[in-house]
Amino acid sequence: MAVIKVPKPPQSAFDKNRPVSALLRNQILHLHEVERKFPPSRHSGIYINEIKTEGEAADYIRKVTARLHPEGAKRVRFDIAAAGQAKAKSRSKPKGKKS
Amino acid sequence: MESQTPKTRSIKLPMPPGLDNLKHIVVLMMENRSFDHMLGSLKAQDPRIDGLTGNESNLDTTGATIKVQPLAEFQSQLDPDPDHHFPAVDLQIFNGDNSNPRVATMQGFVKSYFNQQHDVPHSAKILYYFPPEKLPVLSTLATEFAVFNGWFSSIPGPTVCNRAFAHYGTSFGQVSMNIFYVLEPYKSIYERMISASPAHTAKIYYYDQASSTIEIVNLLQHQPQLFGTYEQFLDDCSKGTLPDYSFVEPNYSDHDGDNGEEVASDQHPDHNVQAGEIFIASVYNAIKQNPALWESTALLIVYDEHGGIYDHVPPPACMPDGFVAQPNDTGTGRAFAFDRLGIRVPAVLVSPWVPKGTVVSGRTFEHASIPATVTKFFLGDYDQRSPREKAADTFLDLLSLPVMRTDGPDFQTD
């Protein structure tokens, strides 16, 4: 079977200033429920009612998730060609190409 | 039906070769798209697929008939996010009929979307669907492997309660996005696997820490060892160290990552659908590019719920779940006994042991089918499960070929 080319989304697809969806809002609330059980020294310091955008949501989610699952921050070295060349090419675009 | 579990294979008939080779089940759960929206156009290619004829319609709020159209766009069309909380889905299914008994007509989608913006032309977009050429990954996998005509979300409601069915076989009475707590005696499929004797392995792979998981309060908080990142999933595929059961979550947000801009890949409106296509392809590629993994893995691609988007098939009745959501919780003025499924979603099973062009018809699946299948295959008899999960159909019988296929598609994503 011929190789099927899968088009990339345009640069304009990325918008970290998009308002948070109900899904992200609830994910934040769930994480906040867990964060409240941390000692104060381990709080994120982020007031969740001020989170308005996906980028801000991601910052908060990253901080709390890092406390719950620090192993998730470890970088894995792997052979991209063997593991699926899609990963490095598709999931990210270099910073600075779009505002 | 798959006929044996590993524990019993020595005393029953030989398993089909596909099941005998099966070592890994991988589930990729995407977000918020209906079957007709993503795959309904395939009916024109294969009439066995229960998709769209082009004549399906809803009335808009002026009384005009609005037909489905192949005009779905990758982004910026379903904005605002179509309402898919319990009361809105009730309207989409029953069109505001509050009689008893009432008939599911699937005539309330346009009306429901109109309620969000009071814009008549915009409300018609909830009936738009993708032609197959716009979704080369999902459409190709659906036609090359097995597509399910009858895979329904577990609840006519939003993400969190539906995903709970994939993890626990129940939502413990929840029909919303609220936090739920696991009730004894039920355990997640991951906890069942790791506590079995002999122990099995299981993992939830979230995309990265900034995207994280939806399964926070019960599992990430208490069982962090069950989690990995998507990068670790790719590494495990490459090294052949994938667990027996893997659940993969897409990226839920646009955010800055270590490698630059990370585009959301969950396909949740209004995220870009092409980014999700690439993500699906990357999961498929990661498995297929390791030959030993490819021949021993079944990959299920499924969506958690319909996201408020049109589908023409009325959700069927189902085994009650043992819980009842009260009228204040459903928001409809009615209690809900978990005796009816949610709206139909895309589901595709990929394996080189699945006959090409399989269309699964005349059977009903839902997200409780996921833990039911994993439990049946890896653990065998396991009683502490919800009534819904015990009644759920399982899908590994679809790995029925006597000889492995070598003709699977390849996707190039760069």
Instruction: Express each pLDDT in B101-127 by its tens digit.
Output: 999 999 999 999 999 999 999 999 999
Cα distances from B89 to residues B324, B330, B331, B344, in angstroms, run 18, 11, 11, 12
The answer for B 91-130 residues in CB contact with A (under 8 A) is none
Contact residues, chain B, for A81 at CB < 8 Å = 289
Q: Which residues contact B98 (CB under 8 A, 6 or more apart)?
A: B333, B334
Amino acid at B181: Y
CA-wise closest residue to A89 among B281, B69, B71: B281
Of B274, B279, B410, the CB nearest to A3: B410
Q: What is the nearest CA distance from B238 to chain A, expressed in angstroms?
A: 5
In a domain, B10, yes or no: yes
C-alpha distance from B412 to closest chain A C-alpha (Å): 5
Calpha distance B123→B113 (Å, rounded): 5
| Complete edge-to-edge strand list for the sheet that includes strand B255-257 | A92-93, B260-262, B255-257
Q: What is the DSSP letter of B127?
A: G
Residues spanned by the domain of B336: 6-36+133-398
Q: CA A88 from chain center: how many Å?
A: 15
Asked if residue B220 lies in contact with residue B227, where contact means CB atoms within 8 angstroms, the answer is yes
| B414 belongs to a structural domain | no
B361 in any annotated domain: yes
Contacts of B228 in chain A (CB under 8 A): 71-72
Would B413 be classed as within a structural domain?
no
Percent of chain A with pLDDT over 70: 75
**Burial (CB count within 10 angstroms: exposed 0-12, middle 13-18, buried 19+), residue B175:** buried
pLDDT of amino acid A77:
52
Q: What is the pLDDT of residue B265?
A: 98
ipTM of the complex: 0.93
Residue A61 has pLDDT above 70, yes or no: yes
What is B206-238 written as a DSSP string?
Answer: ES-TTT--S-IIIIITT-GGGEEEHHHHHHHHH
How far, in Å, CA of A38 to CA of A52, rounded? 24
C-alpha angle B209/B213/B218, rounded to 5°? 120
pLDDT per position as a tens digit, B202-258: 999 999 999 999 999 999 999 999 999 999 999 999 999 999 999 999 999 999 998
Residue A9: list chain B partners with CB under 8 A: 74-75, 263, 272, 274-275, 278
Residue B95 lies in a domain: no
Contacts of A4 in chain B (CB under 8 A): 136-137, 140, 409-412
The CA distances from residue B92 to B184, B313, B404, in Å, are: 34, 12, 42
Considering only CB atoms, B217 lies closest to which of A33, A86, A95, namely A33
Q: Which of B403, B292, B396, B385 is nearest to B350 (CA)?
A: B396
Kindly determine whether residue B235 and residue A76, on different chains, have CB atoms separated by under 8 Å: yes
Average pLDDT of the segment spanning A13-21:
97
- Pair B268, A23: CB distance under 8 Å: yes
Does some domain include residue B271? yes
pLDDT of residue B414: 74
Share of chain B above pLDDT 90, in %: 95
B279/A contact by beta carbon, under 8 A: yes
Chain A within 8 Å of B277 (Cβ-Cβ)? yes
Interface touch A13/B281, C-beta < 8 Å: no
Q: Is some CB atom of chain A closer than 8 A to the CB atom of B295?
A: no
User: Identity (one letter) of the amino acid at B155?
Assistant: I
Q: Count how many domains chain B has.
A: 1
Residue B339 forms part of a structural domain: yes
- Total residues found in chain B within this entry: 414
* Cα–Cα dist A33/B296, whole Å: 40
CB atoms within 10 A of CB B259: 15
Number of Cβ atoms within 10 Å of the Cβ of A77: 7
Q: Which residue of B has its CA nearest to A87?
A: B282
Q: What is the CATH number of the domain that holds B26?
A: 3.40.720
CA distance A96 to chain B (A): 8
Give B31's contacts in chain A (Cβ within 8 Å). 23
Mean pLDDT of A70-81: 67
pLDDT tens, residue by residue, B283-303: 999 999 999 999 999 999 999
Question: Domain for residue B76, yes or no?
Answer: no
Widest CA span of chain B, in angstroms?
Answer: 65
CA distance A75 to chain B (A): 8
Alpha-carbon distance of B397 to B317, in angstroms, equals 24
